[in-house]
Structure 1
């Protein structure tokens, strides 16, 4: 049973064409698949609106292949993060509908089309070195069905680059700011706009930057209102959170 089947089943219940207990009978084998080393959560899309995402670090190639094989059977789109190239080559054996983004170490397997939102998510970086983390956010948000735009290399060391693109800031509904060094860009952007800003500190920086801790603390201590912060290098978390917010905006607009 894939996402389309589930949606059709729920629609039948809503329209009174199927009793709830009958629907539950059809769904009884859906909650999760026990592979021994992993329990693949097939109810995730029902609860959260999106299928489970595979975090690849610490898993063997065979374990990842087993999880992906199980998910492929249900027709879901699949997102695998922190995947080395060898993982990609292992998964190539399973499907042709696969794409690997080497710079951000993320794998996308797309089996069904996803409609893009009217509401835009804008991903902004302080520097070019922040792009791998930003790309993780972009791909995640795009995979989850959002319209995503980019504004790269507009850090505070040359703030005229950011101020010259304020139209892009105004057009977006949610902004993800990805920055290392002192992490000041998130505060500046949040001070310019009237919309949610999600800050992503990166591990880009010199010695006293402490692999991202400096920019993380700077973002957490920001005086700018409407600023939320995810963990260091967590582009996926930012893209997922932005998508969740954007989905609420779309639902409110359509109602």
Structure 2
């Protein structure tokens, strides 16, 4: 939306010929930016509360760079890029200011926002092998303006490791529990915490883990109340949902 149209809408609101809700609707339905290969939704944050996120896998480095540049040029302060390869990060980093996190395959262009969520999001993993998925969740939550605490390698094979972090578990507003194998960690945490627990099954495990299906089914059948489940290896989805929960009640 260009400045003259914005000014006209604001004048109409001031004069009383257009209600505030009607003006907001006009902002929400404003067209996207067509780059030819992608249609950048600049007004998603007005509708959803969170700006568009770039899924890097399958896009060329040049496409990611052009989309990121368009979003930053439009005034977006932080651009989150998921499933980004190091080679793509090298190219994109020549066009926009970029922080690249290899473990979580996350790129963050622009500024990291100050945390404005109501509490802390705890990200816990059963094992070290689950950390890449957990880092995708953690960095997503950071890029969306949240305080986070990492509690890694605290699986049920050594339950005392989790209990050493019971203060973090009890004080969290949301917990993301990441596990492969049999996927038992979210149920254990769900039995300790009084906040929502988001379970993330990973594709870590031997043959009968079936690429994460065993962990997924285990989490779906959790006997602990308040446990929800996202898709296999979907750290981004968990981080995004946790951020939404953590921002409930924030003006």
Match of 2:92 in 1: 91
Aligned length: 244
Structure 1: tracts of 5 or more residues without a match: none
Corresponding residue of 1:51: 51
Shift, 1:176, TM fit: 0.4
Could you tell me how far apart the structure 1 residues matched to 2:195 and 2:25 are?
43
8 A contact 1:119–1:250 mirrored in 2: no
Relative to structure 1, the CA distance from residue 249 to residue 183 in structure 2 (aligned partners, 3 Å threshold; closer, same or farther) is farther
Where do 1:93-172 residues align within 5 Å? 93-95=94-96, 97-111=97-111, 113-172=113-172
Distance in 2, matches of 1:66 and 1:201, equals 33
State the secondary structure of the residue aligned to 1:178.
strand
Does residue 207 (structure 1) correspond to residue 173 (structure 2)? The answer is no
Quick check: 1:198–1:227 contact (8 Å CA) kept in 2?
yes
Q: Distance in 2 between matches of 1:150 and 1:35?
A: 38
**What root-mean-square deviation, in Å, do the aligned CA atoms of Structure 1 and Structure 2 show?**
2.8
1:1-255 to structure 2, matched below 5 A, reads 16=14, 20=18, 27=27, 30-76=30-76, 77-95=78-96, 97-111=97-111, 113-251=113-251
Q: Tell me by how many angstroms 1:26 deviates.
A: 8.9
Could you state the TM-score of these two structures normalised by the residue count of structure 2?
A: 0.88
User: Alpha carbons of 1:136 and 1:17: their partners in 2 closer, same or farther (altered >3 Å)?
Assistant: farther
The gaps in structure 2 that reach 5 residues or longer are: none
- The alignment's TM-score, normalised by the length of structure 1, stands at 0.86
Mean alpha-carbon deviation: is it higher for 131-140 or for 56-65? 56-65
CA contact (8 A) 2:61 2:89 kept: no
Q: Do the aligned residues in 2 keep the contact of 1:119 with 1:249 (CA within 8 Å)?
A: no
